[in-house]
């Protein structure tokens, strides 16, 4: 394996999906899974770090706490976070208890990531090759973080990062 990108789609091995999280305790489990992977050098970056908000009903204190914890994980373990341009924006805005937003990326998470100067990579999480020819989803994702001053890095060498992690196990 050349490198590993962490997309925490499940909370447990019995497949409690991150997409179905609706309570603060599930946010905590999600964050703990991200930290475990980073602490054990199991990934080069975290893709869609806010995928957990797909079904989460509102942006509340628990969401902001999760964002703070993920920012701390990113900085402690030197693991970039991804601004995802895939399904979360591709399907358009969704209605939540506190208004309309994209499922992910979410501004609340990226406000914290920007504040903590976390390294951010842009991921073209396309599931249809035709989407490479269309900037709509990229522009939607960028609109979420507009004006935040995110630390977007465009020269991240994922292979070099993976090779550094591998050295610890050879």
Helix (H) or strand (E) holding 111: helix 107-115
pTM of the prediction?
A: 0.94
Please count the other Cβ atoms lying within 10 Å of the Cβ belonging to residue 69: 18
Provide the sign of the torsion angle of the four alpha carbons 131, 134, 135, 141, taken in this order: negative
Helix/strand/coil for 120: strand
- Alpha carbon 46 to chain centroid distance? 6
Rounded Cα distance between 18 and 11, Å, is: 6
For the chain, 170 residues long, give each residue's pLDDT as a single digit of tens.
789 999 998 887 777 677 888 999 999 999 999 999 999 999 999 999 999 999 999 999 999 999 999 999 999 999 999 999 998 999 999 999 999 999 999 999 999 999 999 999 999 887 788 877 889 999 999 999 999 999 999 999 999 999 998 888 87
């Amino acid at each position: 394996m050349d490198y590993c990108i962490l997309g925490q789609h499940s909370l447990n091995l019995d497949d409690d999906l991150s997409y179905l999280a609706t309570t603060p305790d599930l946010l905590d489990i999600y964050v703990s899974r991200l930290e475990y992977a980073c602490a054990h050098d199991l990934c080069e970056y975290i893709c869609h770090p806010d995928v957990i908000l797909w079904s989460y009903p509102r942006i509340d204190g628990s969401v902001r706490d999760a964002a703070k914890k993920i920012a701390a994980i990113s900085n402690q373990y030197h693991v970039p976070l991804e601004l995802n341009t895939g399904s979360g924006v591709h399907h358009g805005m969704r209605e939540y208890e506190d208004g309309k937003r994209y499922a992910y990326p979410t501004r609340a998470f990226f406000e914290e990531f920007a504040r903590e100067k976390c390294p951010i990579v842009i991921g073209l999480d396309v599931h249809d090759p035709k989407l490479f020819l269309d900037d709509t989803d990229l522009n939607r994702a960028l609109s979420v973080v507009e004006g935040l001053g995110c630390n977007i890095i465009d020269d991240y060498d994922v292979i070099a990062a993976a090779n550094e992690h591998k050295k610890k196990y050879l």
